[in-house]
Amino acid sequence: MSLRSFLLLCLASSSLVPLASAKPNIVFILADDLGYADLSCYGADKIKTPHLDRMATEGMKFTDFYATGCVCSPTRGSLMTGCYPKRIGLHVGVLQQGGGKGMSPAETTIAEVLHERGYATACIGKWHLGDFHEVMPTSQGFDSYFGMIGENHGMSDLYRGTTLIEKNRDVDKNQLTKRYTEAAVNFIRVSKDRPFFLYFAHSAIHVPLFASDEFRGKSAAGLYGDMTEELDSSVGKVLDTLKELNLEQNTLVVFTSDNGQAGVAAPPLHGGKGSTWEAGHRVPCIARLPGRIPAGSVTREMSVMFDWAPTMAACANGSFPNERPIDGRDLWPALEGKPQAAPLHESFVYYSREGLPSAIREGNWKLHLVAPVMKWAGKLPPEALLDKLPPEPLPWLFDLASDIGETRNVAAQHPEVVAKLRADIGQTDATLTREARPLFKHTR
Ligand SMILES: [Ca+2]
């Protein structure tokens, strides 16, 4: 081939077939306390979520995706670092505003990894990984931050960067989803000409519940449903903006939740936030990147929040640093629908909100060594939950393939499975304990 025809061919192919960008944009949307069965594409019949449903039909839905923690801070730290919360000292409870603790600045975050690869990075919404300058989003890899640093109730204030702009009592929480969404859309617009990473962590659905007038009283599932529908509408606005800017084909969008619903879960799961029942940890997860993630696909691969850090790094054609051990694995083979010879994870360990290794899943087996506690059971009397507990003493073994609601204890029939899972949970916890790195603690 002559040089001239080679150049012509290059020119023709570059104009006809745009090369897939080596650095797709990434939008990671995290809901707070949204339950597994609370989106219509996950079986909800009283809550309408057309935008998330569309995202699922255009991308991949996960059936067996786990929030690392059953409460906020552990899961959020895990998402940022690719680690089990215990590895980074975040496995016990949640961080309190003014409590002097935070995720260590010595940890490598996905925002730092992407920033180093040339991404514009923004965190909008709930951070919940510390409220001192040293541990706020702008010290952990984000160019900018706007949001309520902790939970939408109590003491949490609204920040821009590291500046407190509104005290908690002055924030109109009914307008929070709208304000966050405007900020998110604005960030996408101003960043459209370079790779960007938006971590959009809604304060919704966490109790107490708030909704703007447009959504209040509109769903068939009370204020929780109204708030979920408003959240769905926010996702729609983000997707519409990507489409309008012609970025749809070049943006990975992920939607998931940081733990289960703070009430009693809708069937088929049992339990809720703060417990190691499936409904405490198993959450909806949807991922869309047209052309790479097959449209309308479903994965049953057991995967965990900590997988997204290495997966997002790989999406940016990079890799997550491994000088310090991490627990996450690259989800791309599963996301691209490639057949898997072996499961991504042999096991997943459920830590209780007290930080104890309480249950483990391997394949479809789940073993509970500690009885799950339901702290956020809403208004239900404790007796209503007791009848769900197996009458036999611990440990309890469930086959999630046939008993996703964890109601039939089969430990007595499978002593060898119980023994293996018991040994494995001990081994995982021993490794994490031995290798654990410290939290940030303010010394002033
Ligand atoms: Ca939460």
Domain that holds residue 69: 21-335
Q: What does the alpha-carbon distance between residue 173 and residue 105 come to, in Å, rounded to a whole number?
A: 30
Inform me whether the pLDDT recorded for 382 exceeds 80.
Answer: no
Same-domain check for residues 134 and 99: yes
94 C-alpha to center of ligand 1: Å? 9
144 C-alpha to center of ligand 1: Å? 22
Q: For residue 384, what pLDDT band results from cuts at 50, 70 and 90?
A: low
72 assigned to active site? yes
72 C-alpha to center of ligand 1: Å? 4
Inform me whether the pLDDT recorded for 443 exceeds 70.
Answer: yes
Same-domain check for residues 167 and 218: yes
Inform me whether the pLDDT recorded for 402 exceeds 90.
Answer: yes
Final residue belonging to a domain, choices 277, 311, 335:
335
Mean pLDDT of the chain: 91
Average pLDDT over residues 73-94: 95
128 assigned to active site? yes
206 C-alpha to center of ligand 1: Å? 6
Of 11-15, 52-56, 79-83, minimum mean pLDDT range: 11-15
Question: What residues pack around ion ligand 1 (CB closer than 5 A)?
Answer: 32-33, 72, 258-259
Of 152-156, 182-186, 292-296, 333-337, minimum mean pLDDT range: 152-156
Q: What is the pLDDT of residue 274?
A: 87
Inform me whether the pLDDT recorded for 18 exceeds 60.
Answer: no
Of 70, 83, 91, 128, which one is the catalytic site residue?
128
Of 51, 70, 72, 83, which one is the catalytic site residue?
72
Q: What does the alpha-carbon distance between residue 393 and residue 391 come to, in Å, rounded to a whole number?
A: 7
Q: What is the CATH number of the domain that holds 181?
A: 3.40.720.10
H-run or E-run covering 157: none
Q: For residue 19, what pLDDT band results from cuts at 50, 70 and 90?
A: very low
Average pLDDT over residues 128-137: 91
Share of the chain above pLDDT 70, in %: 91
159 C-alpha to center of ligand 1: Å? 19
Domain count, the chain: 2
Of 185-194, 286-295, 368-377, minimum mean pLDDT range: 368-377
416 C-alpha to center of ligand 1: Å? 35
Beta bridge partners of 254: 28, 287
Query: Tokens for 261?
Result: 């619903």
Final residue belonging to a domain, choices 335, 359, 378:
335
Average pLDDT over residues 160-174: 93
439 C-alpha to center of ligand 1: Å? 20
